[in-house]
Amino acid sequence: MSEAETTAAATSATTTVPETTTEAPTETEAETTTEPVTEPEPVDYEALKVNEQGHIMVVMYHGILDNPPYHRLKEDFIKDMTFMYEHGYRLISVDDYMTGQIDIEAGMTPILFTFDDGLASTFSLIETDGGYEVNPETAIGLLESFAADHPDFGTEASLYIHANDDNFRDVGTPADRLNWLIEHGYELGNHSNTHANFKKLGRDSLIKEIGAVEVYVDSVLPGYKLTALTYPFGARPDSELLSVLNGGSYQGFEFDYRVAFREGPSAQFYPPNHKKFNYLNAPRVRGSEGDIQDLLWFLDYYEENPSQKYISDGDPNTVVVPVGKEDNLREGISDNFEMITY
């Protein structure tokens, strides 16, 4: 009965106002008011507490499985994204992170998602009539679905794989799977040939572990260059072998890693523009909860210590920091960015 009433009310409302007289003037008004170019409102750095040398968290996830602390349940992964979204976190890529070209809204805090091990529950395809689409129950499927409802959250993520066809199996060919990721804006990285413990490797073995993935990825995605790596088990090579990451070569592939992430939990998420950032020992937080320095612990920590967070001014071409914090920036930042203190 109430349905009938509302329908009747709606009908009478639309019929009392002739369509032609309402539509025509609004269109003309809209045209004239949108034409002039309006200057964007200046960003109030003080009010937003802009701080572009503050911490940026890099989250280490694996699959969507009931096996904490390395894997995450579906509902917990959605819970993570919801909390992040509601507390001003926005996804960025490893490329944005390393170049500092962080293009998120003023007042927001960048965050990175990384997924290790090339698991089918991280990403896999399902067959459709015309081809393939992402399996909605995988981490990337859940991220795509969350971002469809919250487009400004973003869908950036990087996935770290091995040198074999098992990455993200079984549906589709390896090329179908890796191409889907690249075409949808995701990044691929190196997680070693055999999930080796780099601490235990000599120079030749280390070169092969890294190089085999470069050879493999190029065979599937010709020309795709790997520039990010996650250490299996978080184990870094001996210090005298670290130079392999930027000087080693294997079967004609020259290594040029801009960043290598350790395993979480680790502390002090200095961003790449900070003096104390170590690009071959970049920290990550374990995408889990319950332990000190897991993801949920850090999310609470930054709610209580907001002055430590990176907070964007909304302009990727500037670096805006409170007076006194500019001393934390590494040299050369002003070559590429306009420096602003307030």
- 117 is an interface residue for Zn ion by CB under 5 A: yes
Query: How far apart, in whole angstroms, are the C-alpha atoms of residue 248 and residue 162?
Result: 18
Give the number of other CB atoms < 10 A from CB of residue 237.
24
- 156 is an interface residue for Zn ion by CB under 5 A: no
- 80 is an interface residue for Zn ion by CB under 5 A: no
Q: Which among 151, 291, 268, 167 is positioned nearest to 217, based on CA atoms?
A: 167
CB 110 within 8 A of CB 89: yes
- Is the CB of 189 or the CB of 232 nearer to Zn ion? 232
Please name every residue paired with 113 in a beta bridge, in sequence order, or none if there are none.
59
Exposure string of 321-340, with b = 16+ CB inside 10 Å and e = fewer, is bbeebbebbeeebeeebeeb
- Shortest distance, CB of residue 100 to Zn ion, whole angstroms? 27
- Shortest distance, CB of residue 71 to Zn ion, whole angstroms? 11
- Shortest distance, CB of residue 274 to Zn ion, whole angstroms? 26
Stretch that binds Zn ion, among 89-97, 114-122, 236-244, 250-258 (CB under 5 A): 114-122
Stretch that binds Zn ion, among 110-118, 119-127, 210-218, 278-286 (CB under 5 A): 110-118
Q: Which residues contact 28 (CB under 8 A, 6 or more apart)?
A: none
- Is the CB of 154 or the CB of 234 nearer to Zn ion? 234
Site for Zn ion in 203-262 (CB under 5 A): 232
- 313 is an interface residue for Zn ion by CB under 5 A: no
State which residue has the least CB distance to Zn ion. Answer: 116
Sole binder of Zn ion in the list 116, 187, 209, 214 (CB under 5 A): 116
Burial of 75 (0-12, 13-18, 19+ CB in 10 A): exposed
Total site size for Zn ion, rule CB under 5 A? 3
CB 118 within 8 A of CB 168: yes
- 263 is an interface residue for Zn ion by CB under 5 A: no
Which positions touch Zn ion (CB under 5 A)?
Answer: 116-117, 232
